[in-house]
Amino acid sequence: SMQCFPSLVLALSSLLGALALLQLSLYLRVPSRYGKHEERLCRPRGRLPARCAWFLQELPSFLVPALLLALRSPPRLEPLGCRLLCCLFCWHYFYRTFIYPFFTRGRPFPLQLLFFGTLFCIYNGFLQGYYLIYCAEYPNDWCTDIRFTSGLLLFLLGMGINIHSDLLLRQLRKPGEVTYKIPQGGLFTYVSGANYFGEIVEWFGFAIATWSLPAFAFAFFTLCCIGPRAYHHHRYYLKTFTDYPKSRKALIPFIF
Ligand code: NDX
C-alpha cells in the first residue's frame, strides 16, 4: 500500500506555488480567455458546452482524493481530524462537479483551457488527497485546536458566500441567454468578484484548518488565479455599464 514521501509533497507544493506565480504574471495584464474575457476575434477554437466542460474539468478534484480515501485500508477516518479535512475538500468539489455544472448558464468553454484545467484538477486533487490521507499527522485533540476551528469556520463561511454568489450570477440570465448584466445582492453589493472572494476565503480557511504546505500552496494558487480575474471583471463592468455602482470594489469589500 501507499506510503508518505515528504519530499514528493514538498516538490509538488513548490511547483504549485511556482504555477501560482506564473499565473499572476500571465493574468495580471490580460485576463484568462474564457467567459466574458474570451476574444471573439481570436481564431476560432473548439468549445464545449459550459455544463460538460465544468463537469469534466472539476471531476478529478473530487474523484482522485475520494479514490485515495476509498483505497486506504481501514481505519479510514483515523485520526478523525485529518480524514475529515479530506472530506471537506471532496465536499467542495462534489458541489463544483455534480451541482454547479448542471445549473450553469455560462457560455461554451474553450477546449484548450479545459485541457489545462483538467490537468490542474488531477494534480491538485492528488496533492491534497495524498497529503491528507498518507502524510498528515494531527494530535488527537486537533478538532479543538484554534487553527482547526477558526479555519473550518472560514471554510464554511467562504463556501457559503461562493455558492450564494454563484446562484446570484446564474439568476441574471434566463435559460439560453448569454448577455451580461450588473450583479446585485449578497456580497455583490460590495465587490464585483463576490464568488471569487468566497472561494479565496474558503481555501485560506482550509489551509488554516489543515495547517499544511499543500493547502497553503493551493490557497495561494487560487488567489493568483481568480484574484486577477476579479480585477478584470471589475474593469469590464466599469467600461460596459455607465451606471455601475461607484462604491463597489473589485475583490475585497471596502478595500480593493
Ligand atoms: N477552474 C479553478 N494556467 C478553472 C478553470 C480555468 O476551478 O492555463 C482553476 C477552477 C483554469 C483554472 C481553473 C486553472 C488555471 C488555468 C485556467 C485556464 C487557464 C489557466 C488552466 C482550473 C492556465 C497555467 C498557465 C498555470 C497552466 O458566459 P459566462 O461563462 O461568462 O457566464 C458566467 C456567469 N456570469 C454572468 N452572467 C450574467 N451577467 C454577468 N455579469 C455575469 N458574470 C458572470 O456566471 C458563468 O456562468 C458564471 C460564473 O462566471 P465567473 O466568470 O464569475 O466565474 P468563473 O471564472 O467561470 O468561475 C466559476 C466558479 C467560481 O465560483 C470560482 O470561484 C470557481 O469556479 N473557480 C474558478 C476558477 C478556479 C478556481 C475556482 C480556483 O482556483 N479555486
Each residue's pLDDT tens digit, 135-150: 998 888 888 999 999 9
Measured CA distances, 10 to 109, 169, 212 (Å): 33, 37, 11
Residue 173 lies in a domain: yes
Instruction: Indicate the top mutation candidate among 34, 169, 171 to test ligand 1's pocket, ranked by most ligand atoms within 8 A of CB.
Output: 169
- Which ligand 1 atom is at minimum distance from the Cα of 26? 25
Question: Is residue 80 lining ligand 1, measured as CB closer than 6 Å?
Answer: no
What pLDDT band is residue 239 in, cutting at 50, 70 and 90?
very high
Residue bearing the CA closest to ligand 1, atom 7: 58
Residue nearest atom 69 of ligand 1, based on CA coordinates: 226
Let me know if residue 15 belongs to a domain: no
* Cβ contacts of 234 within 8 Å, gap of 6 or more: 192, 193, 248, 249, 250, 251
Would you say the CB of residue 166 lies under 6 angstroms from ligand 1?
Answer: yes
Dist. CA 136 → ligand 1 center (Å): 30
Peptide bond into 44 cis (omega under 30): no
Which protein residue has the closest C-alpha to ligand 1 atom 14? 117
Is the pLDDT score of 218 beyond 60? yes
Ligand 1 atom closest to residue 58's alpha carbon, by position in its atom list: 7
Find the 114 Cα to ligand 1 centroid distance in Å.
11
Tell me the H-state helices in the chain: 6-27, 50-71, 80-94, 100-103, 111-130, 146-170, 194-210, 213-240
Q: Whose alpha carbon is nearest atom 45 of ligand 1?
A: 169
To test the pocket of ligand 1, the residue of 171, 174, 226 to mutate (highest count of ligand atoms within 8 Å of its CB) is 226
pTM equals 0.96
Provide the domain count of the chain. 1
Whether residue 56 contacts residue 256, with contact meaning beta carbons closer than 8 Å, is answered with no
Is 66 a domain residue? yes
Q: 181-190: per-residue pLDDT in tens?
A: 999 999 999 9
82: Cβ below 6 Å to ligand 1?
no
Evaluate whether residue 4 is within a structural domain: no
Least confidently predicted of 27-31, 98-102, 182-186? 27-31
Q: Is the pLDDT of residue 42 over 70?
A: no
Q: Is the dihedral of CA 213, 86, 76, 60 positive or negative?
A: negative
Helix (H, G, I), strand (E, B) or coil at 75: coil
pLDDT band at 92 (very low <50, low <70, confident <90, very high): very high
Give the DSSP per-residue string, 8-46.
HHHHHHHHHHHHHHHHHHHHTTS--SSGGG--SSSPP--
Q: Give the rounded percent of residues in the chain with a pLDDT score beyond 70.
A: 94
Q: Which domain holds residue 179?
A: 31-38+45-240
Which residue is closest in CA terms to ligand 1's atom 47? 106
CA distance linking residue 71 with residue 73, whole number of Å: 6
For residue 191, being part of any structural domain is answered with yes
Helix, coil or strand: residue 89 = helix
In a domain, 17, yes or no: no
Q: In the numeric block, which cell numbers belong to residue 221?
A: 494558487
- 217, part of any domain: yes
**Mean pLDDT score across all residues of the chain:** 93
Asked if the structure places residue 6 within a domain, the reply is no
Contact between 185 and 191 (Cβ < 8 Å): no
Q: Of 13, 7, 12, 6, which is closest to residue 213 (Cα–Cα)?
A: 13
